[in-house]
C-alpha cells in the first residue's frame, strides 16, 4: 500500500516558458505544476529528489508531503503525471495533485503477473491484455501494484477482473465481466496446421463424393439416351 510519506521540497517558479524550462533542466531541475483545490502553482524540484520520491517502496503511488520553499504548510499530494526524455530517460516535467487523506481517489495501478500458467507449460501463448487496472481507494490504501495469479490458466482460458481476489479498502472500477487481463491461447502455428488439415480433409471428402457421384451421373445420362432412342 502507498502509506509511505515522503517529504518533497519544491520551489515556486516565477518565470515560465519553454526557454526557461530548458535552462532549468540543464541545471538538473525539473519544472512541474502543483494542482490543489482552487490553486495551480508552477513549481520546480531537483530531479534526483523527484526520482527518489517516485522510486520508493510505494512507487508512483507514494504520498508526497510537498512543502514550498520557505513555508511550513504541508500539501499531501500524489504524482498525477510525468514526462521523460525519450532518448536520455531523464524526467522533463511532472504534475502533482494535492489530495485529502480522508477522501478516496482514482488511480491506475500496474498489473503484476504471479505464478506460471499450466497452459504455457503445455505450449500455449500467454498474452497480457490489460497492463493497468483502475481503482478507487483512500490515498494511503492505493496498492503499488495488483498481483494476478496465473496458476490456474489452461490453454484457451481467459482471466478477467472478476477473477482477481478483492483487495481490502480497494474498489475496482473496470468492468469485472468485460475487462480481460490475460489469456492463454493456442500458438498460431498450431492453428494454421489445424486449419490446413481441416481444409485437406474437406478437399478429400469432396473428391470422394465427386467420384462416388460420377457413375450415377453416367447411368442417368445412359438412361436418358435410351429413352430418346426409343422415342
- Looking up residue 41, the CATH number of its domain turns out to be 2.40.240.10
Task: Choose one of 99, 126, 156: the last residue of a domain.
Answer: 99
* Coil, helix or strand at residue 137: strand
Residue 181: CATH number of its domain: 2.170.120.20
Cα–Cα distance for residue pair 196/208, rounded to 1 Å: 18
Query: Is 9 found in the same domain as 93?
Result: yes
Query: Is 114 found in the same domain as 179?
Result: yes
Place of cell 482477481: 164
**What mean pLDDT do residues 153-163 have?**
95
- Expressed as residue numbers, the domain containing 155 is 106-185
Cα–Cα distance for residue pair 228/231, rounded to 1 Å: 5
pTM higher than 0.75: no
* Coil, helix or strand at residue 75: strand
Distances (CA, A) of 34 to 9, 37, 65, 96, 190: 12, 10, 12, 5, 53
Assigned domain for 41 exists: yes
Query: Is 59 found in the same domain as 21?
Result: yes
pLDDT range class, residue 14, cuts 50, 70, 90: confident
- Count of structural domains, the chain: 2
Distances (CA, A) of 202 to 43, 188, 207, 211, 215: 70, 21, 9, 14, 21
Query: Is 115 found in the same domain as 94?
Result: no
pLDDT tens by residue, 173-197: 999 999 999 999 987 655 455 555 5
Assigned domain for 171 exists: yes
Assigned domain for 91 exists: yes
Residue 31: how many other CB atoms lie within 10 Å: 23
Task: Record the cell numbers describing residue 52, joined without a space.
Answer: 527518489
Query: Is 46 found in the same domain as 17?
Result: yes
First-to-final CA distance of the chain:
97
166 pLDDT higher than 70: yes
Cα–Cα distance for residue pair 40/60, rounded to 1 Å: 21
pLDDT tens by residue, 84-99: 888 888 889 999 999 9
Q: What is residue 105's predicted lDDT score, i.e. its pLDDT?
A: 94
pLDDT range class, residue 19, cuts 50, 70, 90: confident
Question: With DSSP H G I counted as helix, E B as strand and the rest as coil, what are the percentages for the chain, rounded to 5?
Answer: 30, 35, 30
Query: Is 73 found in the same domain as 117?
Result: no
* Residues contacting 225, CB < 8 A, separation 6+: none
Cα–Cα distance for residue pair 137/135, rounded to 1 Å: 7
pLDDT range class, residue 219, cuts 50, 70, 90: very low
Query: Is 168 found in the same domain as 153?
Result: yes
- Residue 97 burial by Cβ neighbours in a 10 Å radius (0-12, 13-18, 19+): middle
Amino acid at each position: 500500500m502507498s502509506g509511505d510519506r515522503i517529504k518533497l521540497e519544491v520551489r515556486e517558479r516565477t518565470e515560465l516558458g519553454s526557454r526557461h524550462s530548458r535552462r532549468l533542466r540543464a541545471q538538473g531541475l525539473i519544472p512541474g505544476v502543483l494542482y490543489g483545490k482552487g490553486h495551480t502553482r508552477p513549481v520546480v524540484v531537483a530531479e534526483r529528489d523527484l526520482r527518489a520520491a517516485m522510486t520508493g517502496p510505494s512507487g508512483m503511488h507514494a504520498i508526497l508531503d510537498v512543502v514550498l520553499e520557505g513555508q511550513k504548510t504541508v500539501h499531501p499530494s500524489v504524482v498525477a503525471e510525468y514526462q521523460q526524455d525519450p532518448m536520455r530517460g531523464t524526467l522533463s516535467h511532472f504534475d502533482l495533485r494535492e489530495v485529502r487523506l480522508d477522501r478516496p481517489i482514482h488511480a491506475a495501478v500496474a498489473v503484476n503477473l504471479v505464478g506460471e500458467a499450466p497452459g504455457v507449460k503445455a505450449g500455449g501463448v500467454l498474452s497480457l491484455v490489460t497492463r493497468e487496472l483502475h481503482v478507487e481507494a483512500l490515498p494511503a490504501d492505493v496498492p503499488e501494484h495488483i498481483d494476478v495469479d496465473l496458476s490456474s490458466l489452461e490453454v484457451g482460458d481467459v482471466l478477467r477482473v472478476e477473477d482477481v481476489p478483492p483487495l481490502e479498502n480497494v474498489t475496482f472500477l473496470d468492468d469485472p465481466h468485460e475487462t480481460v487481463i490475460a489469456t492463454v491461447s493456442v500458438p498460431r502455428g498450431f492453428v494454421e496446421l489445424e486449419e490446413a488439415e481441416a481444409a485437406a480433409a474437406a478437399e478429400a471428402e469432396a473428391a470422394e463424393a465427386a467420384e462416388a457421384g460420377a457413375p450415377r451421373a453416367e447411368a442417368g445420362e445412359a438412361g436418358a439416351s435410351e429413352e430418346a432412342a426409343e422415342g
